[in-house]
Structure 1
Amino acid sequence: MDFSDIGFQIRAKRKAKSWSQEKLAEEVHLSAAYIGMIERGEKIPTLETFSVIANALEASADELLSGVISASHEARMSKYAEQMRSLDFKSQRVLQEIIEIFLKNYPK
């Protein structure tokens, strides 16, 4: 199993907060070098370290594990449905038509 996506997600969340690796390292009491190794997929953090990083980044475990666990697919689909409900009726209909066309043409 490839865990490098965890590092990619951590990097994305860190950058979204406009934090450097050094800032994240300071927040979680780790070295910037170790944060870099996690982000590059060279190291897999322990559960404890992962939790500390997730909390510091104000990210859910599901967000950070989205490329690794299949359950995250359900969470993303739920998030998409929620976002679709917030659209106006015309936009919702366009998305529904796109989905219907895709499903009709998607090989089973």
Structure 2
Amino acid sequence: MEFETIGKNIRHYRLAKSMRQEDLAEKTGLSPNYIGVVERGDKVPALATFIKLANALDVSADMLLADVLNTGYIVKESLLSEKLAQLSPDDRSKIYEIVDTLIKHKA
């Protein structure tokens, strides 16, 4: 199973909060080097550490695990719905047309 995406998600949410690795390390009591190792996917954090990271980033575990869980697509659909809701009706319509076209022509 590919766990690198857990680290990528941690990095994504860290950057979304305008945090440096040092900031996240300070909030969790971990070293900046360890944060880097996790974000690169070189190491999967232990459960207690994972919980510290999720709490420090103020995100749910399923948001960090979305790409490795079979039910992760529910989270992605929810996040996508939130993004779509911020668009104008015209822009939403265009995106729906693109998605419909992609579905019709899937391999």
Structure 2 distance, partners of 1:68, 1:61, is: 11
Secondary structure in 1 aligned to 2:50?
helix
Identity in percent: 41
Q: CA deviation at 1:82?
A: 4.6
- 1:52-91 alignment, distance < 5 Å: 52-85=52-85, 87-91=87-91
Q: Distance in 1 between matches of 2:82 and 2:35?
A: 33
Do the aligned partners of residues 78 and 20 (structure 1) sit closer, same or farther apart at CA in structure 2, a change above 3 Å counting?
closer
Distance 1:53 1:86 in 2: 28
- What does 1:8-87 align with in structure 2 at a 5 Å threshold? 8-85=8-85, 87=87
Structure 1 position 25, deviation (Å):
1.0
1:96 matched residue in structure 2: 96
Change (3 A) 1:3 1:81: same
Q: Which runs of 5+ in 2 are unaligned?
A: none
Alpha-carbon RMSD across the aligned residues, in angstroms, is 1.9
Aligned residues: 107
Q: What SS is found at the alignment partner of 1:49?
A: helix
The runs of 5 or more residues in structure 1 that have no matched partner are none
1:6-45: CA deviation from partner (whole Å, max 9, x where unpaired): 1111112112222221211111111222111111111111
Quote the Cα distance in structure 2 between the aligned partners of 1:54 and 1:65: 10
Report the TM-score when normalising by structure 1. Answer: 0.81
